Structure 1
């Protein structure tokens, strides 16, 4: 089958689908082809504008036919891309389809940075399929070991029930990819706290994959990244009674993986945390950490981040950043003519705004996909486009341990150097507020709980308000700072 497209998109994750939707809305008379290795695509729903820059949204998985039915000028091809012939502007897929294009955007995301490849006891968590495999294994598990300290690891440790969890992190505090040690202390009581609140069901539709057996997905091609609330209302229960118990090992990495017979042969000793019920050495797999401790488990979860899926396009001579991403300029263009990239696959290589950083998050995948579409339309018309305002300020809204979390600007002081002043407001079990001041100006913030400070802090950062005379009162709960700066 031979297709012709004005715009082609590779990838059915949040970045790719947002790109397709934006292209369709901006230019409804063009032909758009989206190629996805999965028959389920990721769509943004229930979008709420929390402030001018902060968005809250859900991510739903829907059959590929949904996109075609809602966007008449979009055709979805269920196949994996085998060849990107950028010189001749042709895409060739695993099922023999050829797609000629004028502009193409690569949105193939990232793949799990698995600690050990091809080990049956190690499961990398990245997409819906890997989560489903995790649920399946968890049903018969007494204990798991989680390696990683990012968002997925944090949510997983909190949500798992009926199973002991050993959480091994390389940092001195939990969830360090997002929050500092102070916020980690705020969260720490939640780690082993029994969850008594009832879960409100999310209004999400569940779909089975269409024609799932029709496409053989290459091993290095993963599904779309998990979105917000990916863990909520999923059955993540082991085979033990009650809630869960979590033991944290700080400042460690995995040194070795052993089978039980190897442990016995080497005369090594298996540790058992004193708070755990499973006092046994009968484990199918054991992990030796860099602190010398050895723990047994039924399986290991690798949640150590992602690597951009750029390797499958190595024949195109893209400029690749140190982190493995395809370099893009401030129009989301790669160094190859008429090829754009967005989401986890790319690395922003322009000079960033003072309060923006790139993190491989679903919120940025959406922003990049939308902006890439605007740039593609402008490029086709030989017009110019200015960098979208969403790249002026880093914002991210998520939920950890059932608390609302909002990150603004240089929320952990990234790249600020010396001269930072940190203001804190902490109410145990209620809220945690951190404001970072430098040269009299707010540079970033972490807001945990229902603080109602996000819009005001956003404006203080963007408007570069001098807080020198007011900073002592900035976090005073008895002062309405929103009125003060109106």
Structure 2
């Protein structure tokens, strides 16, 4: 790096998302005298609020977007640097920002998150939803839309199909059932009726002013689309802002299309996207079979592998995220996992000296607990950021530190289709092979309880609805008690299982 080094900090954190901010808070609390820098492309950071430890491993919290000055006021030792990162030189322990400044570090933590996988990079009618900016673009385009196609079967797709109103939604999923990432076909069947009914009235959400947008321009205008997509990419310099949307990100947004209908969702199962056309391309297509009725009435058409072609106002690509490792790899020799994340050991250290990583950008490569798996979720971003901060501080203070207990058992609380959803351990029998059994209890419209047993011991559970079983099941999974004597009585609704195993 030719530029002169501006300043050297003891700790530099890259990324203003949940992992980065939690890491900063942990470091600043543990070593208040240390110089800490947070490098973030956007003016706002993601802060964890209303944190609540529900049980030993389950936690609930809100994520709020706040000005970075809030962090600086809280921690006098913190400097926030507003810029994207242009390059990293692990040998000289320096980071160059997009605006040409160079900062030294003694220890660095990369928390740059992930970026949405897009079906295609150059089509203005394909939107990815990942951060606040892209959510605003989506909201603005939706206000004029009569039909959209959502592609994907993960968390954001599940939230969108339930929240969008006033617009027809075609939902293309590659699996046999919805929500494959989070639950099995039985749970999917339990949830499907919620899509066919009107949304239940909820308490008015608190408005988050950052999501308000001006009146959108005329419907279907390519100029608006292109401008919005350009805005989405601007301001981020070299890396996109990429801070993931937290839980309940849609609470403060009006997700309403141009039609008077409340909700109209049709699901296309076991299919993938073969091609995306403009109406002109479709008209000129030699394949007559591709011409649906009313060709030319929609700005974009999507052809699926099941032979169906749909016209729509725009396509939402919700097919997952890619770890945001640009621009850290160039010139360095990071070990990278198969899923493109930076490999980290059980102290969140990468293969490069003094470089740690946390959150969506990294891949856990230590010997994992048999009951834990990495999923790029906001709960894990918080846990990893917190633990990385502890590890960095412990190294400086020459303290030994054990792997945190949160990595013993996978646990996650979320909400889908207005139902509380709790996932524990190997909730989908991940990696168990054929020698496991499932116990299921289902009360239509009320609750769905599934337990995964292996060798007579509980190894996972899915709880949908207000079951109040999460703490009991967590204890049973952690204690690895032999449950063979109880058989199917384990889920007998007439037995108070909490009293049984307390």
TM-score category, normalised to shorter length: over 0.9
The number of residue pairs the alignment matches comes to 476
1:207 Cα deviation after fit: 8.6
Matched, 1:442 2:458: yes
Cα distance between partner residues in 2 of 1:49 and 1:220: 34
Does the aligned pair in 2 maintain the 1:393–1:409 contact within 8 Å? yes
Residue number in structure 2 paired with 1:373: 389
Taking structure 1 as reference, are residues 204 and 46 closer, same or farther at Cα in structure 2, changes over 3 Å only?
farther
> Which residue of 2 is the match for residue 463 of structure 1?
479
**Contact 2:458/2:480 (8 A) holds in 1:** yes
Correspondence 1:299-318 to 2 at 5 A: 299-314=314-329, 315-318=331-334
**Are 2:259 and 1:240 aligned?**
yes
Post-superposition Cα deviations, 1:371-392, rounded to whole Å, max 9, x if no partner, equal: 0001101111233211000000
- Matched position secondary structure for 2:440: strand
Match for residue 407 of structure 1?
423
User: SS where residue 221 of structure 1 aligns?
Assistant: coil
CA drift of 1:205 comes to 6.4
| SS in structure 1 of the partner of residue 484 of structure 2 | coil
Instruction: Determine if the alignment matches structure 1 residue 227 to structure 2 residue 246.
Output: yes
- CA distance in 2 between partners of 1:112 and 1:469 (Å): 47
Name the SS of the counterpart of 2:100 in structure 1. Answer: coil
User: Which of 154, 161, 172 matches 1:168?
Assistant: 172
Q: Deviations over 1:407-441 (max 9, x none)?
A: 00000000111211100010010000000001010
> What residue is the counterpart of 2:268 in the other structure?
249
1:111–1:220 CA contact under 8 A, matched in 2: no
8 Å contact kept, 1:79–1:94: yes
Structure 1's 111 and 365: CA in aligned 2 closer, same or farther, altered over 3 A?
same
The residue aligned with 1:354 is 370
CA gap of 1:473–1:263, structure 2 versus 1, over 3 A, is same
Q: Is the CA contact 1:38–1:223 (under 8 Å) kept in the aligned structure 2? A: no
1:286 and 2:301 matched: yes
| Closer, same or farther: CA 185–271 of 1 in aligned 2, 3 Å | farther
**Separation (CA, whole Å) in 1 of partners of 2:235 and 2:200:** 43
Contact 1:122 1:302 in 2 (8 A): yes
Q: How many Å separate the matches in 1 of 2:436 and 2:296?
A: 49
Separation in structure 1 between the aligned mates of residue 207 and residue 474 of structure 2, nearest angstrom: 30
User: Do the aligned residues in 2 keep the contact of 1:3 with 1:97 (CA within 8 Å)?
Assistant: no
Q: How does 1:46-445 map to 2 (within 5 A)?
A: 46-202=50-206, 206=210, 216-218=235-237, 220-266=239-285, 267-269=288-290, 282-314=297-329, 315-445=331-461
Give the 3-state SS of the residue equivalent to 1:20 in structure 2: helix
1:21 pairs with 2:25: yes
Cα distance in 1 for residues equivalent to 2:202 and 2:28? 40
1:344 CA displacement:
0.4
The equivalent residue for 1:479 is 495
Helix, strand or coil at the partner of 2:254: coil
Given the superposition, is the C-alpha separation of residues 196 and 388 from structure 1 closer, same or farther in structure 2, using an over 3 Å criterion?
closer
Q: Secondary structure at the match of 2:401?
A: coil
Take 2:487 and 2:94, find their aligned partners in 1: how far apart are those partners? 57
For residues 221-243 of structure 1, the C-alpha deviation after alignment (integer angstroms, 9 at most, x for no partner) is 23300110011231111110130
Q: Distance in 2 between matches of 1:204 and 1:404?
A: 22
Alpha-carbon deviation of 1:311? 3.3
Unaligned segments of structure 1, at least 5 residues? 273-278
2:475 aligned with 1:454: no
TM-aligned CA deviation for residue 82 of structure 1: 1.1
Shift, 1:203, TM fit: 6.9
CA positional deviation for 1:265: 2.6
Deviation at 1:218, TM superposition (A): 2.7
The TM-score with structure 2 as length reference comes to 0.92
Distance 1:121 1:203, change over 3 A: closer
The equivalent of 1:3 in structure 2 is 7
- CA positional deviation for 1:63: 0.7
**TM-score normalized with structure 1 length:** 0.95
Task: Give deviations 1:264-288, integer Å, cap 9, x for gaps.
Answer: 233345558xxxxxx8761110000
Moved more, 191-200 or 160-169: 191-200
2:114·2:360 contact (CA, 8 Å) conserved in 1? yes
Deviation of the 1:83 alpha carbon = 1.6
Contact 1:13–1:109, Cα closer than 8 Å, also in 2: yes
Tell which deviates more after alignment, 215-224 or 426-435: 215-224
Give the direction of change, closer, same or farther, for the CA distance of 1:448–1:117 in structure 2 (3 Å limit). same
Q: What SS class does the counterpart of residue 460 from structure 1 fall into?
A: helix
**CA distance in structure 2 between the aligned counterparts of 1:363 and 1:205, rounded to whole angstroms:** 24
Aligned-residue Cα RMSD (Å) equals 1.8
